[in-house]
Each structure stands twice: as structure tokens, then as C-alpha cells.
Amino acid sequence: MSARGNSFPKQYRLLSRSEYLRLSDSKTVVSGRSFLVVWRENGYEYPRLGITASRKTGNAVVRNRLKRHIREFFRHHCSLLPGVDLNVIVRRQAAENSAAALSSELQRAFQQIGSRTCCHESL
């Protein structure tokens, strides 16, 4: 992402229902204890993020805290994901984990996705 500070520009977000539906048709999933990450290549040079956190996850405070954590992690680690759309589906167990545990699980998922994309270049 650009060096514009802590912004999360619209181009890096999944915004419409049709984008989520197209992504849900994808059969490429990375599963973890706290998250289910559905992804597909998007044809752009940058990744886009969507987050789904149902009320089963917890109250609004808990859901918003988890979404902020996911967005911040994505903002710092989006270079691991060239040209993919992601929908991070938050599971109920995520509310019980620490921020460090959530970060390590997201790191593992992003690395798995990055290694599976056809356009990924090894460093």
C-alpha cells in the first residue's frame, strides 16, 4: 500500500455484494482455528480485502475489534498477496484468542495463499 499513513483506500476493499458472491463461488479456501479465508485471483496488481464477522462471533465491540485487527494486519502484510481478492470469515473462536495468536494465524494463511498464486514471485 502507499505511504499515505494509516489509510485503507477503497481500491483495497471488496465493496459490493456481487464481489462477495463472485468470491464465494471460488473453491479456494485456507482454513484455520479462528478464520476461514476464501480467495481468488482478481487480475489486478494489488490485493483486496473483505471481512465477514457474524453475530455468533460476539457483540459489536468484539466484532469490530477483530475487524480492526484484520484490516491492520492486511495493511502491513498486503505485499504477501499480489493480485487476490480475500474474504476473511471470522469464526467464533477468534474472540477467545490473543492478538498475537490472531496475527500468527493470519500470517500463516497469507503465506499459504501467496505461495499458491500463479503470479507470485519467490524472493
pTM above 0.75, yes or no: yes
**Predicted local confidence at residue 122, as pLDDT:** 44
Q: Which domains, ranges and CATH numbers included, belong to the chain?
A: 10-116 (3.30.230.10)
SS (H, E, C) the chain: CCCCCCCCCHHHECCCHHHHHHHHCCCCEEECCCEEEEEEECCCCCCEEEEECCHHHCCHHHHHHHHHHHHHHHHHHHHHCCCEEEEEEECHHHHHCCHHHHHHHHHHHHHHHHHHCCCCCCC
What digits encode the pLDDT tens for the residues 55-98?
999 999 999 999 999 999 999 888 888 889 999 999 999 999 99
